[in-house]
Amino acid sequence: MNIETDFLIIGSGIAGLSLALKLAEHGQVIIITKKERAESNTNYAQGGIAAVFAPNDSFAIHIDDTLKAGAGLCDIAAVELLVKEGPARVNELVKWGTHFSKKKDEAQPIFDLGREGGHSRNRIVHARDLTGREVEQSLLAALKSHPNISVYEQHFAIDLITEHHLYLNRGSNPGSIHCWGAYVLNIPTNTVHTVLAQTTILATGGCGQVYLHTTNPKIATGDGIAMAYRAGAQIANLEFMQFHPTTLYHPEADSFLISEAVRGFGAVLKTQDGKPFMEQYHSMGSLAPRDVVAKAIDTELKKYGHDYVYLDATSLDATQVKHRFPNIYKNCLCYNIDITKQPIPVVPAAHYMCGGVVSDLRGRTDIQNLYTCGEVSCTGVHGANRLASNSLLEAVVFSHQIYVDITDSRSNREQATFPPVPAWNAEGTFNQEEWILIEHDKMEIQRLMWDYVGIVRSNLRLQRALRRVELIYREVENFYKKTTITEGLLELRNIVLLAKLIIKSAQYRKESRGLHFTTDYPNVDDKNWKHDTVLTNLNNKLTFVEK
């Protein structure tokens, strides 16, 4: 079955939905999402959106905070664009119906601005501790009745359609590859559709499910990065996986996120004997950037052989804590933890991928007619470590840049004639017995990545991880080629590819910077490594691009 559209958006988080609302004024939009439309990393974001609104804040200060967190790898032009566009994009969300928390004691209600690690001012616009859900619901409500937007739930994008699928030479030069849409699996019917689009946008989110412990939902399997890599796009900085320092430690909590805003509100990290420890590691104490805090917790856990540290909010006003963090308070109560009376046991967990598909300041990749925005992309904003709450901001700012680029150039573009795209080859039978064995690989990959490619790495750990991951990669690819596809197989295929690319990127960078710390190269090396780690897939071979 062939479907044609003007714009194909793969992903239904804040980046994809906000862009869809704008592009729908210029043509037909199809949104592909493999679960329900509200299921995304956006929906799980507790903290908020960083933007300059406070009288004592400025663009220069926000820019400086972002550059410091990024450990020397941020693209300054991208950071300046992000910060200066921030207030306008937040106000745009308000226009679409997002209700952010306000200060009610002012003559003119203004945003109740929170503070998080790495920020030197209060600038976190939030909806208490459910900001992501509030933004997601407002965007869904805004697009619900739009006649030009179709949302395909329970649909999984398999691969981007390029010259490769037309059996043409796609070349090796930037711009020599073209994207004409994607092959998409209808999960309930297990049939594959060919979706042809004048413009395709990747907004698929992150890849936290590559790791055993993650704050990400089950859908965060790196699909967009994997598709773009297989298509030949440049990928950058995959060694910089951010581990959120504080997730609830409980066997049944499934890495429930304890927002950075709790520390911004005044909670303090302590060892199990009640001693604060962050002042030993950073002058900002418990409000240090995430890479510093996560590594410090990891060090303390190993020093004492403990499974968790405490985040202590018991000295704060109980009424205010309950009002500011109702969701966290309620969820912790489910595990018999009253955060106003008891310290919260916490551990780090994989949270946010700072690298991704390389794009310019207009969201353009090096594949023609393919854009990318949100966590799947690498815009240069985050460098080696993301500043808290810059993620939702990046999503709305750069999705808007895509809109600007498309509308600016639309009058000069000719409507493309789609080439004859072959239908998906559905040959093969599903071997349930073999799949049961292959499926176990997912847990092994996640455990390998957690044990060997986590907060602290080494040459030996990375070598051990790569040997096993490459073996699993070959097993999965072989199974994929001879069987009919399923959602589980597609996710496993993407997870093992992302694991391989993350390990390769970590091996390539021979220094410690930001989120990448290796015991074999424990220092920052600006002379040799103050640049992005860029790789691409040329002729089915992973190649690092020299900078």
Q: What is the mean pLDDT of residues 521-529?
A: 97
pLDDT at 42: 55
CB atoms within 10 A of CB 27: 15
Across residues 78-94, what is the average pLDDT? 96
Count Cα neighbours of 385 within 13 Å in the Cβ-side half-sphere: 30
- The fold of 432-535 is Methane Monooxygenase Hydroxylase; Chain G, domain 1 (1.20.58)
Rounded average pLDDT over 530-539? 93
Return the residue matching tokens 């504080």: 246
pLDDT at 294 over 80: yes
pLDDT at position 319, please? 95
The DSSP 8-state label assigned to residue 341 in this structure reads T
Q: What percent of the chain has pLDDT over 90?
A: 71
Q: Which of 9-18, 104-113, 234-243, 391-400 has the lowest mean pLDDT?
A: 104-113
Is the pLDDT assigned to residue 299 strictly greater than 60?
A: yes
SS3 content of the chain, % helix, strand, coil (to 5): 40, 20, 40
Average pLDDT (371-398) is 96
Question: Are 220 and 205 in contact, with CB atoms under 8 Å apart?
Answer: yes
Structure tokens at 351: 């949270």
Reported as a pLDDT band with limits 50, 70 and 90, residue 6 is: very high
| Total Cβ atoms within 10 A of residue 13 | 33
- pLDDT of 424 above 60: yes
Query: Is residue 402 scored above 70 in pLDDT?
Result: yes
Residue written as token pair 């004859």: 420
The architecture of the domain spanning 245-350 is Alpha-Beta Complex (3.90)
Q: CATH 3.90.700.10 residue ranges in the chain? A: 245-350
Measured at the CA of 534, the angle between CA 531 and CA 537, to 5 degrees, comes to 170
Query: pLDDT grade, residue 538 (50/70/90)?
Result: confident
Bigger pLDDT: 315 vs 412 = 315
How is residue 134 written in tokens? 């509030």
pLDDT (0 to 100) of residue 513: 96
**Confidence bin at 267 (pLDDT 50/70/90):** very high
Percentage of the chain beyond pLDDT 70 is 94
Q: What is the pLDDT of residue 353?
A: 96
Q: Which structure tokens are listed for 318?
A: 């109980």
Q: Name the strand (E) or helix (H) holding 29.
A: strand 29-32
On the question of pLDDT at 232 being above 70, the answer is yes
Q: Residue 312: CB partners within 8 Å, gap ≥ 6?
A: 267, 268, 269, 270, 274, 343, 344
Res. 413 pLDDT band, cuts 50 70 90: low
Contact between residue 13 and residue 374 where contact means Cβ atoms under 8 Å apart: yes
Structure-model confidence comparison of residues 540 and 156, the more confident one: 156
Global pTM value: 0.91
Q: Return the pLDDT at 477.
A: 93
Per-residue DSSP letter, 367 = S
* pLDDT greater than 60 at residue 41: no
- Among 190-194, 393-397, 510-514, 536-540, the range scoring the smallest mean pLDDT is 536-540
- 434 versus 323: the higher-pLDDT residue is 323
Task: Quick: pLDDT tens for 137-177.
Answer: 889 888 887 999 999 999 999 999 998 877 666 555 656 89
Query: Is 492 within 8 Å of 219 (Cβ atoms)?
Result: no
Where do the CATH 1.20.58.100 domains begin and end in the chain? 432-535
- Residues 48-64 have pLDDT tens digits of 899 999 999 999 999 99
The CATH number that domain 2-239+354-410 falls under is 3.50.50.60
Catalytic residue among 89, 123, 263, 290: 290
Determine the average pLDDT of the residues in 430-459: 89
User: What three-state secondary structure class fits 383?
Assistant: coil
pLDDT for position 438: 81
Task: Reply yes or no on whether 410 is catalytic.
Answer: no
User: What pLDDT, on a 0 to 100 scale, did the predictor assign at position 109?
Assistant: 56
Assess whether pLDDT exceeds 80 at residue 37. Answer: no
Exposure pattern of 129-149 as b/e (b: 16+ CB <10 Å)?
bbbbbbbbbbbbebbeeeebb
